[in-house]
Amino acid sequence: MSLSLGAIVMSQLVGYARTSTTDQKAGLEAQLRDLKAAGCEKIFHEELSALATKRPELERVLDWVREGDTLIVTKPDRLARSTADLLAIAKQLETEGVTLRILSMNVDTATPTGKLMLTILGGIAAFERDLMLERQREGIAKAKSEGKYKGRAPTARAKGDEVKRLKAEGLTADAIAERLNIGRASVFRILRDAAA
């Protein structure tokens, strides 16, 4: 039986390493060493905070990997900002037929145990979020009952008199918004309410 070269799909082990600052050279070197030891043929790396809005090398690696490939990272915090972010990246990879391996946790989504571990992480993340929201609601209720919670200060509405005065002086909504440092929509809302 002969196979055509076009029918053979070569899977790759692809690594991703990240440090928060350029001062963490040793940490980056350790990640690169561990990724090479794990058999990574191609490694993407960057020196950038996980909180950065853009992580170009992460975007490149997610674009690079193909069905059958395995993305390997040393620790979950090197890949994701949070558990929710980790789960979103894992879901994206799964959709594309790419498995995820996290060396420090011995998680490999190619195995049922690895998938279970990520599912458990997802449950824990949802549980933590629910607890946080419940504590927040309880704190707000307690503060309200003690008369300490007034809610968010209405910044634009507090400037209603100034908005009306500036409009009477002939300023445009854009000029008023800029001068008072409020949104243009807030200016229109205040003027509309005043006219009603």
Cite the active site residues: 20
Give the separation between CA 171 and CA 180, rounded to whole angstroms. Answer: 12
Is there a contact between 67 and 92 (Cβ–Cβ < 8 Å)? no
Token pair 């979103």: residue: 88
Closest CA relative to residue 13, chosen from 114, 103, 119, 113: 103
The DSSP line for 55-103 is -HHHHHHHHH--TT-EEEESSHHHH-SSHHHHHHHHHHHHHTT-EEEEG
Contacts of 166-174 with CB under 8 Å at 24 or more apart are 167/191
Max Cα separation, the chain? 88
Give the separation between CA 115 and CA 105, rounded to whole angstroms. Answer: 12
Helix (H, G, I), strand (E, B) or coil at 55: coil
